[in-house]
Amino acid sequence: KAGVTQTPRYLIKTRGQQVTLSCSPISGHRSVSWYQQTPGQGLQFLFEYFSETQRNKGNFPGRFSGRQFSNSRSEMNVSTLELGDSALYLCASSFSASGANEQFFGPGTRLTVL
């Protein structure tokens, strides 16, 4: 059974640009959650999607947005990039609600903003 996949694995952008990250969950999983990981703040929740609907949202500015498609694949977008957006972005999938079931994480996308 294939795991969670994320593309691209690495990205380098400059301030002011926008970026789109993609996540494909494990087959059969309907929930996708996104997290930002930085050395200072640790893992912080961005948002969760379930059956194409945003179920939960973390405390991030509106520059961070996401969506989920009918095949459960999810994308997150960050507009007007800032230096502080440099981080490892992780997505996780689970069968149903993110907090009720075991979550499985992808390898992450390393975003560097110059």
Distances (CA, A) of 108 to 53, 70, 89, 100: 22, 22, 5, 22
**CA dist., res. 111 & res. 101, Å (int):** 28
At closest approach, how far in Å is the CB of 78 from another protein? 19
Determine which residue in the list 7, 14, 84, 100 makes contact with another protein, applying CB under 8 A.
100
Stretch 13-52 residues interacting with another protein (CB under 8 A): 33, 42-43, 45, 48
Q: Does 98 bind another protein (CB under 8 A)?
A: yes
**CA dist., res. 72 & res. 63, Å (int):** 22
The answer to whether residues 4 and 104 touch, using CB atoms and an 8 Å cutoff, is yes
CA 25 to mean position of chain CA atoms: 11
Determine which residue in the list 69, 99, 112, 114 makes contact with another protein, applying CB under 8 A.
99
Binding residues vs another protein (CB under 8 A) = 4, 6, 33, 42-43, 45, 48, 56, 58, 88, 90, 92, 97-100, 102-108, 110
